[in-house]
Every structure is written in C-alpha cells, then in structure tokens.
Structure 1
Amino acid sequence: MTSVPLTIFGANLLREELHQLKTKERRIVIDAIAEARSHGDLSENAEYDAAKERQAFVEGRIAELEGKLSAAQIIDPTTLEADGRVVFAATVDLEDLESGAKVTYQIVGLDEADLKLSKVSVTSPIARALIGKSAGDVVEVQAPSGPREYEILEVRYV
C-alpha cells in the first residue's frame, strides 16, 4: 500500500473521527438495529433497513480510516529542512500578480484539505505548481478560470 502523507493536525483529525465512530456511532447503530428488530417482521421494516445501511457506512468508514492511518506518513512541518523550498506541509504566502491580492495556503494531504481554512491538497493545481519553488519565484497555476500567476512571498514551516 502506498503511503498517505498527513500533517500532524490531519492525522489527529482522522484519529478523532475514528474514535468517534468506534465509541459513539457504532453504539448508536447497534441500538437502532436492536430497536428495529423489536418491531417484528424484518422483511418490511424500513427502520431496520436504514439502520443496517448506516451500520455498513460506519464500518466502511472505520476500515477506511484505519487503512489510511496505518499507511500514513505523518509529517511535522516544524522539523522540515527544505531550505526555503515549498514542500508538503509548508505554509506559503502568495500574491496574485493580476489582482495584487495576497493569500496564504498550507499544502496538506487530500483528507485534510479545506479551502475555508486555507489548506490545499497536495494534488491540487496550485500545490503542484508550488512544490519545489522558493520565495521570489513566480508560478503559473492552471486554474478552472484560466491560467493565473502568483509570486511566492514567503515559505514557512509552522
């Protein structure tokens, strides 16, 4: 199995979700199945079918999270020695050369990407364009709205 890159924060999020699913969601689903069974005929019991579907989802998600965590390569950005280059887990300050707008992104794993939190997936077009570059470099990103140019203002490992 290939390794899954995660920041410490992302790994902790997955561990928390796994804990929640194993300790709370599983119990809720088991109780729902027991309740539905107590209503009698299972062949025409919509509550039972819904509870079994929920159980399948929860167990599938548990297996998925356990697999990702077992294959995780957890990267602590504070220990990176990348000599100012953009690497996985780096935080990058950018300036859009067309509009002058300044943005900050952290390059993270696919499971922890959240644009609202300025976290972009390592597989995103902007991350792929930034990897390996340094402060002062200009990168062209193939965005859905067309190509955009950014100047890298600063690369941080926090």
Structure 2
Amino acid sequence: MPKPQLTKAGRLRLIEQLETLRIEGRREALERVKAARKFCDFREDVTYFEAVREQERIETKIIELERTLADAVIVEQEALAGDVGFGDTVTLRELPDGETETYQIVGELEADFANGTISATSPLGSGLMGGAVGQTVSIASPGGTLTFEIVRIER
C-alpha cells in the first residue's frame, strides 16, 4: 500500500485537527458521557449509548490521524519551472465557455473539491500534472469530455 502524500500545509492541518480532538474532543465527549451517566438507566438509555459511541468515534479518529501522520510522506514542490506539480495552485479556463476555476493539486487525504483542492491522482489532477501555462487538457467525465486551458500556475 503506498504511503499517503501530503503537502506541508496539509500536514499542519492534520496535526491541528489531531490536537483539537485530543484536547477539546476528548474533554467534550467525556463530559457528555458523565452527564448522561447521572440521569440514565444503563439498560435502555439512548443518550448514554450515543455519548459513548461519540467518544469511541473521537478515539478512532485520533488513532487514524496518528497513523496517517506517522506514515505520510511530505511532498516538496519539485516540478520543473512552469510545469504543474504537487502542491501547485492551478487556474484553469474551461473551454469553450471561458469559465475559470482554481485548484490546488494535493494528495488524496487532502483533496476536497468543494474547497478547491483536488487529488494528484484524480482524473483532472493527473491530467494537469506536468502541464504548462497555455496547454490544453482534456478530461473524460461521465457527462462527456471536458477541456481546460491552463491559465496560471502558482507555487
């Protein structure tokens, strides 16, 4: 199984998320369990069982983040000057309508299309890797082929 790839910023976000869960998440979950214990009949109390399940979800997420951070490879931006590489932010013009979109190329763990990040292994991300300003890239999608022109590359 390949090691997960992260940008430096992505690694810092995961560390921050982990610390938040360790401190605030654990504290809040424990408080909910304690509050539910005070007023429950352990045989049937849904509130108590939900509080315990939430505490378990937080602990599971903490373990997942710790493993991810231990296994992750931080990828430096090493693309040739002018070529799209890992961690770069790319502005595209969709052809023929001319609508522009901007995405950062990241690892699968960081990808969040709604927030402007796409995986380097996604169809669009892999199609952009190595591309240069002015180059046209065609991507097959369920709705048909999409064509983009690379307008700008930012490191």
Do both proteins adopt the same fold according to a TM-score greater than 0.5, normalized to the shorter chain? yes
> Offset at 1:138?
1.5
Output the amino acid matched with 1:138: T
Q: Distance in 2 between matches of 1:102 and 1:41?
A: 58
Q: Residue 111 of structure 1 corresponds to which residue in structure 2?
A: 109
Q: Deviations over 1:100-143 (max 9, x none)?
A: 22222211122322334322122322102111222232211113
CA contact (8 A) 2:91 2:103 kept: yes
Residue number in structure 1 paired with 2:11: 11
Corresponding residue for residue 136 of structure 1: 134
1:88-127 to 2 correspondences below 5 Å:
88-127=86-125
Query: How far does the alpha carbon of each residue in 1:37-57 deviate from its partner, in whole angstroms, 9 at most, with x for none?
Result: 233531112121011110111
Superposition deviation, residue 81 in structure 1: 4.5
Question: 8 Å contact 1:2–1:71 — kept in the other structure?
Answer: no
Asked if residue 155 in structure 1 is aligned to residue 153 in structure 2, the reply is: yes
CA contact 1:96–1:151 (8 Å) conserved in 2: yes
Is 1:32 matched up with 2:35? no
Between the aligned partners of 1:38 and 1:58, the Cα distance in structure 2 is: 22
Aligned residue pair count: 155
Q: TM-score, normalising length from structure 2? A: 0.87
Q: Unpaired segments of 5 or more residues in structure 1?
A: none
Q: TM-score, normalised by structure 1?
A: 0.86
Equivalence for 2:75: 75
Partner AA of 1:139 in structure 2:
V
Distance 1:136 1:11 in 2: 31
Corresponding residue for 1:47? Answer: 47
CA–CA distance in 1 between the matches of 2:102 and 2:36? Answer: 50
